């Protein structure tokens, strides 16, 4: 994707989609921007959830509120050797699904992973927001069932329905 798109159109499209509370539009923008990353829909991923290694690429506070059961946290800022080290700590032999709130941070990490390893990595379309909206299982940092997801911030949190969002 040209740098001009990255600097202007992609952020504008994402901001407009967030403002209009249009998660499908966010998903389309993420797929278009990260067309070199393999994406997987929540329904497909959930059908065979145990077949994957789940990696949450949100901040620690977001992860603590809720995450997909069995997920490990990968710092969204990992690059180079630090990312290689984190990947080496993951179980081998299964595809990895990375996710964040809506797919931008996780697609970025997926792209970095593809650049440094042969890991089969996929981005969860719509991120944990779509997972939450679909009513799929969540747990908090202690492993207890959770029903809400961290909204990242007020603008992005608006993509989650009332009662599903925790600020």
85 by Cβ neighbours in 10 Å (0-12 / 13-18 / 19+) ranks as exposed
Residue 8 lies in a domain: no
Q: Is residue 9 part of a domain?
A: no
The domain tally of the chain equals 1
**74 lies in a domain?**
yes
The domain that contains 42 carries what CATH number?
3.40.250.10
What does the pLDDT look like over 86-122, one tens digit per residue? 999 998 899 999 999 999 999 999 999 999 999 999 9
What are residue 96's phi and psi, to 5 degrees?
-105, 130
What is the rounded CA–CA span in Å between residue 89 and residue 104?
Answer: 23
Whether residue 4 lies inside any domain: the answer is: no
* Cα separation, 138 vs 19, whole angstroms: 26
pLDDT per residue as tens digits for the range 127-164? 999 999 999 999 999 999 999 999 999 889 999 999 99
Q: Is residue 5 part of a domain?
A: no
Q: Are 159 and 134 in contact (CB under 8 A)?
A: no
Strands (E), the chain: 38-40, 53-56, 72-73, 96-99, 121-124, 138-139, 145-146, 149-150, 165-166
Going by pLDDT thresholds of 50, 70 and 90, the confidence category of residue 5 is very low
Residue 64: give the domain boundaries: 36-166
Strands 72-73 and 53-56 come out as parallel
Residue 33 and residue 105 in contact, taking contact as beta carbons nearer than 8 Å: no
Query: Containing H/E element for 61?
Result: helix 60-65
Mean model confidence pLDDT for the chain: 91
Give just the sign of the alpha carbon dihedral 158, 159, 165, 166. Answer: negative
The pTM score is 0.92
- DSSP-based helix, strand, coil % in the chain, nearest 5: 45, 15, 40
In a domain, 115, yes or no: yes
């Amino acid at each position: 994707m040209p740098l001009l798109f990255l600097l202007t159109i992609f952020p504008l499209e994402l901001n407009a989609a967030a403002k209009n509370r249009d998660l499908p539009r966010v998903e389309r923008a993420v797929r278009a921007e990260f067309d070199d990353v393999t994406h997987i829909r929540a329904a497909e991923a959930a059908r065979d959830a145990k077949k994957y290694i789940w990696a949450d690429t949100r901040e620690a506070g977001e992860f603590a509120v809720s995450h997909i059961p069995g997920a490990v946290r990968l710092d969204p800022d990992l690059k180079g050797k630090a990312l290689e080290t984190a990947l080496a700590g993951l179980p081998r032999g299964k595809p990895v699904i990375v996710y964040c709130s809506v797919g931008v941070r996780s697609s970025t990490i997926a792209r970095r992973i593809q650049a440094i390893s042969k890991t089969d990595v996929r981005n969860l379309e719509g991120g944990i927001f779509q997972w939450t909206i679909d009513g799929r299982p969540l747990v908090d940092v202690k492993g207890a069932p959770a029903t809400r997801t961290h909204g990242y911030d007020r603008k992005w949190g608006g993509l989650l329905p009332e009662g599903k969002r925790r600020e």
